[in-house]
Chain A
Amino acid sequence: MDFFGSLHTSSTGLAAQRLRMNLISSNLANINTTRTAEGGPYRRKDAVFAAVQTHRSFKRALDAARGGERADVEIAGVVEDPDPFQKKYDPRHPDADKMGYVLVPKINLMEEMVNMITATRSYEANVTAIKATKSMALKALEIGR
């Protein structure tokens, strides 16, 4: 049967939430970063998820034709927050301008913590789903034992 399909769907969910968690950690770690490779302060990063229901490959099209409805999660991209940076008055900072202002990343600690909790919960939900899939597959193996 297509329990492997269910497992795959859950694993895409896990991967998506893990990536989100990585981005949140990176946002939290760089809350005061004023220098980046691209120049300027760090910009807050966020993941964009998309459901894959389009039939890109032969296998997916075949599965769909056989009636196996499934929608994996896909990481459509990582976007950077385009909002302007915050200005902080700190004349002794090496990156301060003539007026004594430093541009610092616009990261809201509260927002990041809330996103972290939702990512954790979603991850746990996917883990529960994988456990359920496993128990069903094992139960099916017991038939005829």
Chain B
Amino acid sequence: METLKLCGGSIELLSRALDVRSSNHNVIVSNIANADTPNYKAFQVEVEKEMEKFAADPGRLRMRRTQPAHMPVAAVSEVRGTARVSDTPQFSLRGDGNTVDIDRSMADLAENNLLYNAAAQIIQQKFQGLKSAILGGNGGK
């Protein structure tokens, strides 16, 4: 029989995406707040890399199912993206040692915001689908 994938699979992946996006948001906000701080070095989270790490990580702790009828359980894993210092811009006319590119930061902020909202919306749709299935369609009427 096809395994019942209620809470496994994509919801797990999407929740990971939300976690990584929110730590990325934190980092971007820090960069924007420090746009005028002398000698501040901008840092960044590489979201795509973090997500790949998640997909390829074999060391995750999984609960074992001893009965085929058990519901699949989400894996326990480290849910933070790790930040690193971003590369110094090649052409910087600033003399204060600050490496924040405000235009890039604002664009990253908007992009990250949109993708976070998209992931949240997909999760919401998934839960709504489940709810609809539980209620037998038509909202149980």
Q: What residues make up the interface of A, taking CB atoms closer than 8 Å to B?
A: 1-3, 5-6, 9-10, 12-13, 16-17, 20, 48-51, 66-73, 118, 121-122, 125-126, 128-129, 132-133, 135-136, 139-140, 142-145
Contacts and interface: CB of A to CB of B under 8 A. Distances in A.
Q: Which of A10, A13, A68, A144 has the most CB of B within 10 A?
A: A13
B30 A69 contact: yes
Contacts of B37: 49-51, 73
Contacts of B127: 143-144
Contacts of B106: 125, 128
Interface stretch (B18-26, B51-59, B68-76, B133-141): B18-26
A13 B34 CA distance: 7
A136 B117 contact: yes
Contact of A129 (B33, B40, B45, B117): B33
Interface residues of B, number: 40
Given A73-B37, A136-B21, A140-B18, 12 more contacts: A2-B23, A6-B26, A9-B29, A13-B33, A49-B34, A51-B40, A66-B80, A69-B30, A72-B30, A73-B33, A122-B35, A129-B28
Given A13-B34, A132-B113, A140 B26 contact: no
B32 A125 contact: yes
Interface string B88-112: 0000000000000010011001101
B124 A143 contact: yes
Interface in B35-73: 35-38, 40, 43, 45
Most A-side CB within 10 Å, residue of B29, B106, B123: B29
Given A12-B33, A129-B28, A67 B110 contact: no
B34 A1 contact: no
B82 interface: yes
A121 B106 CA distance: 12
Residue of B22, B29, B30, B33 with highest tally of chain A CB at under 10 A: B33
A13 B123 CA distance: 32
A97 B40 CA distance: 45
B14 to A, nearest CB: 10
